[in-house]
């Protein structure tokens, strides 16, 4: 099958200064969580995207100097020759497939705490970023940069650019976005200087201009020079002679960089979760840039539809289709479009688990793509699978995310696979959850896998098939996977921050009851100590049905963990819009059918709310009854031809969707492996003489 002609424009080359991108697919800079501590893991991760057809593959933020130190969050460096060698591995992996390698050089300014280097942070005017996310908080306030500091930062940028060229990078970035140093000079809230670098927009842009000019002079004859800039706040600010300060800044720098990489100002708006942001949501902010500059423009918008991509180009919004999250969910997205296989794209669902991995300080992970970050250390390729090691027949009990992923990977390896699901449709927990407000895109987890499985001759799918132990013994399968999910309980929560007891009343419900069609009487209290999306979205859903809803949690925010996925501000906005009363730092102690008794988790102060029902969103426990029944008859396995019975996914240990899909993938990859090796441990490149002084 060949490429659809209407997508030809996506495969046109684009000149970026002295280099040329082979197509319009551009993996924009995004964090990988891998750093120089895992150079081979990083190289395989980026190289796989190049293999998948991304014409440009970029690093995440790469520090130019120890004064830009984001630890303990993972960040990359170009400080010395060890770093050059580490990055060269990625460049080689990217170049192997004919793609360009781009490096996002970065100085964090006042937005980094320099916890390891202990250098006072740099800033235009000593204004700190007063973060509300505990992981970003610190007590070291930034210095006010003098003339030497400005010259030093430019010098470090130039030195890092030269190292980048030595490593093999084709495109070198200047970063003026997301609250980092270049952005701080552009924005008047940060920049209160009265010298040539402050005041009017023309002065505030001077620092960024000098960074571009110095970088271009250093490597611009061989490398394209890209400017990554945030335009959201600037677009909202008036200008005396332009439509906005964003228009003015872009006009002042119009043709100086070889490429404009345009984005939003904060992670929640730049990388908005699909629950709150549609595909292409950046357009209203960045749509003017191509009208001002003659240089190519790249931007993002969680693009998953090739028709949307073509429209962005033909309407003059972008020249290059930027992808971060879509390139993680499916590194082979461009190749699939090129080969006429766009129906096989593993679309990003916008859950932002990838972003949470950076906040966690670990290599990137993805709900849709279990191989992300595992390409080198586990040898997992997103499109290639080792052939089966036996003629064993595989039975998977349960057709939720874990079961479907296990079935798909096992079938792609060549095994004969049967999936038995007791409900009338496949999808497990997603049958209900994908109907909740904003979560429709999550249904792609089921859709992608079912679409592929239904086309495979070695797969049998059965719905309405609740199997007994006797059924399983009689079906003639050698490998049995129990993927029967987990159930929500009515457990309460204690001041020790653990689940305790149960509030077992007929007017107390769990999400499982709501999924079964129960509509609680209002007013209803949603009590949430799960702390991810479920409690907040159930409260929103019930309120949209016209019920009066109160939400309580022992945490300090509603759906507190969603700060990790960029959703927290919008969860609170959604609850406010639906008139949900939010009570934080609260324990639910009791409910008598009329009033729910609460107390503050820290002070013990008692309170009560008048409600007719309670929904508890807290502890989940495995549905493993069938597994336990099978395990009790292990002595009969050999006679029935059964070689193994394993619990996988939530039936083994309840978790988020990302854990469920990963568990199914791992089960199928390891079906015939003897070793129980988790992964190969990467090691840093450390050839620099011990104790040598930093030479930046």
- What is the residue-wise DSSP string for 423-448? SSSS-TTHHHHTTSTT-GGGGHHHHH
Residue 602 pLDDT: 97
Q: pLDDT tens digit string along 291-347?
A: 999 999 999 999 999 999 999 999 999 999 999 999 999 999 999 999 999 999 999
Confidence of residue 606 (pLDDT cuts 50, 70, 90): very high
The mean pLDDT of 595-602, rounded to a whole number, is: 98
Q: pLDDT tens digit string along 85-107?
A: 999 999 999 999 999 999 999 99
Confidence of residue 134 (pLDDT cuts 50, 70, 90): confident
CA distance 209 to 374: 39
Residue 39 pLDDT: 97
CA distance 597 to 291: 60
Non-local (6+) Cβ contacts of 380 within 8 A are 370, 371, 374, 665, 669
Confidence of residue 411 (pLDDT cuts 50, 70, 90): very high
Mean pLDDT of the chain: 96
Q: pLDDT tens digit string along 558-589?
A: 999 999 999 999 999 999 999 999 999 999 99
Residue 689 pLDDT: 60
Non-local (6+) Cβ contacts of 192 within 8 A are 124, 125, 127, 198
Whether the predicted pLDDT of 45 surpasses 80 = yes
Confidence of residue 517 (pLDDT cuts 50, 70, 90): very high
Whose CA is closest to 479, among 426, 421, 417?
417
Whether the predicted pLDDT of 675 surpasses 80 = no
Residue 673 pLDDT: 79
Whose CA is closest to 375, among 49, 95, 4?
49
Residue 690 pLDDT: 54
Which residue among the candidates 122, 173, 175, 180 is catalytic per the annotation? 180
| Residue reference for tokens 């490149």 | 685
Q: Is 180 a catalytic residue?
A: yes
Whose CA is closest to 297, among 230, 226, 207?
226
- Cβ atoms of residues 394 and 671 within 8 Å: yes
Whether the predicted pLDDT of 693 surpasses 80 = no
Q: What percent of the chain lies above the pLDDT cut of 70?
A: 98
- Cβ atoms of residues 361 and 74 within 8 Å: yes
Residue 556 pLDDT: 97
Residue 135 pLDDT: 82
Q: DSSP labels for 217-261? A: HHHTTTSEEEEEEE-HHHHTS--SSSSSHHHHHHHHHTTSSSEEE
Residue 676 pLDDT: 65
Give 296's strand partners: none
The mean-pLDDT minimum among 248-257, 262-271, 324-333 falls in 262-271
- Cβ atoms of residues 78 and 34 within 8 Å: no
Of all residues in the chain, what percent are helix, strand and coil, respectively (each to 5)?
Answer: 35, 20, 45
How do beta strands 613-617 and 620-622 pair? unpaired
Domains contained in the chain, CATH given: 5-360 (3.20.20.70), 393-479+623-669 (3.40.50.720), 488-621 (3.50.50.60)
Check residue 106 and give left, alpha or beta (phi > 0: left; psi -120 to 50: alpha). Answer: beta
């Amino acid at each position: 099958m060949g490429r659809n002609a209407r997508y030809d424009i996506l495969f046109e080359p684009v000149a970026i200064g002295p280099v040329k991108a082979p197509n319009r697919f551009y993996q924009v800079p995004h964090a990988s969580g891998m750093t120089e501590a895992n150079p081979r893991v990083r190289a395989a991760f980026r190289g796989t995207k190049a293999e998948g057809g991304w014409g440009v593959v970029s690093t995440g933020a790469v520090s130019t100097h120890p004064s830009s130190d984001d630890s303990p969050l993972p960040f990359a460096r170009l400080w010395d020759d060890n770093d050059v060698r580490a990055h060269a591995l990625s460049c080689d992996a990217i170049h192997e497939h004919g793609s360009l390698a781009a490096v996002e050089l970065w100085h964090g300014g006042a937005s980094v705490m320099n916890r390891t280097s202990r250098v006072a942070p740099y800033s235009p005017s000593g204004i700190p970023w007063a973060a509300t996310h505990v992981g970003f908080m610190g007590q070291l306030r930034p210095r006010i940069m003098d003339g030497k500091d400005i010259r030093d930062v430019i010098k470090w940028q130039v030195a890092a650019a030269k190292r980048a060229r030595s490593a093999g990078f084709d495109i070198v970035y200047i970063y003026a976005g997301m609250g980092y140093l270049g952005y701080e000079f552009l924005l008047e809230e940060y920049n209160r200087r009265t010298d040539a670098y402050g005041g009017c927009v023309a002065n505030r842009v001077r620092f960024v201009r000098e960074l571009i000019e110095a970088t271009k002079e250093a490597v611009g004859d061989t490398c394209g020079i890209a400017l990554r800039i945030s335009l959201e706040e600037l677009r909202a600010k008036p200008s005396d002679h332009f439509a906005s300060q964003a228009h003015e800044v872009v006009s002042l720098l119009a043709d100086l960089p070889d490429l404009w990489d345009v984005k939003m100002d904060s992670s929640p708006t730049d990388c908005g979760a699909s629950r709150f942001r549609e595909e292409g949501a950046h357009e209203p902010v960045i749509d003017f840039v191509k009208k001002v500059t003659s240089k190519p423009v790249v931007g993002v918008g969680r693009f998953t539809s090739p028709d949307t991509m073509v429209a962005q180009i033909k309407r003059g919004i972008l020249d290059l289709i930027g992808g971060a999250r879509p390139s993680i969910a499916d590194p082979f997205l461009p190749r699939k479009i090129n080969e006429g296989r766009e129906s096989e794209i593993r679309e990003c669902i916008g859950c932002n688990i990838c972003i949470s991995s950076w906040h966690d300080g670990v290599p990137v992970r993805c709900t849709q793509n279990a191989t992300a970050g595992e390409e080198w250390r586990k040898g997992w390729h997103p499109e290639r699978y080792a052939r089966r090691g036996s003629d064993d027949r595989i039975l998977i009990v349960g057709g939720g995310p874990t079961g479907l992923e296990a079935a798909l990977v096992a079938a792609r390896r060549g095994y004969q696979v049967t999936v038995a699901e007791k409900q009338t449709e496949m999808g497990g927990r997603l049958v209900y959850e994908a109907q909740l407000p904003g979560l429709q895109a999550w249904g792609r987890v089921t859709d992608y896998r079912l679409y592929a499985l239904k086309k495979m001759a070695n797969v049998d799918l059965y719905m309405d098939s609740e199997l007994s132990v006797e059924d399983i013994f009689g079906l003639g399968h050698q490998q049995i996977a129990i993927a029967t999910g987990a159930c929500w309980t009515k457990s309460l929560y204690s001041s020790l921050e653990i689940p305790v007891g149960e509030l077992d009343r007929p007017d107390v419900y769990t999400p499982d009851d709501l999924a079964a069609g129960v509509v609680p009487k209002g007013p209803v209290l949603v009590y949430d100590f799960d702390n991810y999306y479920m409690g907040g979205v159930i409260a929103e859903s019930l309120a949209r049905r016209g019920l009066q809803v109160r939400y309580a949690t022992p945490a300090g925010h509603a759906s507190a963990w969603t700060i990790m996925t960029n959703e927290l501000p919008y969860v609170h906005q959604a609850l406010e819009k639906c008139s949900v009363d939010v009570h934080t730092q609260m324990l639910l102690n009791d409910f008598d059918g009329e009033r729910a008794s609460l107390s503050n988790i820290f002070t013990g102060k008692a309170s009560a709310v008048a409600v007719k029902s309670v929904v508890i969103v807290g502890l989940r426990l495995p549905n493993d009854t069938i597994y336990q029944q099978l395990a009790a008859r292990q002595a009969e396995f050999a006679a029935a031809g059964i070689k193994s019975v394993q619990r996988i996914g939530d039936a083994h240990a309840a978790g988020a969707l990302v854990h469920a899909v990963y568990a199914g993938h791992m089960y199928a990859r390891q079906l015939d492996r003897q070793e129980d090796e988790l992964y190969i441990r990467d090691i840093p490149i450390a050839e620099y003489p011990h104790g040598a002084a930093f030479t930046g």
